[in-house]
Amino acid sequence: MRDWFRDNSGREFYRLASTVLIVLIYGPMIAIGSVGGPDWVKFSAAVIPIVLLLVLTDFRMRDAAYARGWVLLLVVHVSIGPYLEIADVRFYASHLIHLCPILIGWCARSVAQDDTPGTSDQAAPRKG
């Protein structure tokens, strides 16, 4: 399983996978909230996609040579400021901080994008 995450930590795959996982996190929460489901059901429906997003973001940060501490912003939960309530689910303005590591993963280039010899950005050493 670790090899699968390592092999699929590229920018293009991460963009698609993180978008799908975000929809899988909030979609069921809104659907369950719209019918008046309890909070523990909303959490249990979202726990697997949350863990997958955490692990995938961790591997993406490692692939892009960013500090893995950015993933902590996905874990830290602070609910302050104005909020938008959709189907008994509140989206606080402070929740936008959770998007920082995801946006970094979307934009950051991989460190080892091209390992073929002779294609480096560095100039070739001069002879003589």
The pTM (predicted TM-score) of the whole model is 0.74
Alpha-carbon dihedral of residues 26, 101, 103, 6, nearest 10 degrees? Answer: -90
The predicted pLDDT at position 118 comes to 43
One DSSP character per residue, 51-111 reads: HHHHHHHHHHHHHTT--GGGGHHHH-----S-EEEETTEEEEGGGGGGHHHHHHHHHPPPT
Give 86-112 pLDDT, tens digit per residue: 887 888 888 888 888 999 889 888 886
What's the distance, CA 28 to chain centroid?
Answer: 18
DSSP 14: H
Domain boundaries along the sequence of the chain? 2-107
Among 100, 102, 106, 104, which residue's Cα sits nearest to residue 10?
106
Cβ-defined contacts of 41-47 (< 8 Å, 24+): 42/89
The predicted pLDDT at position 24 comes to 93
The predicted pLDDT at position 33 comes to 83
Point out the residues of the chain with pLDDT beneath 50: 114-124, 128
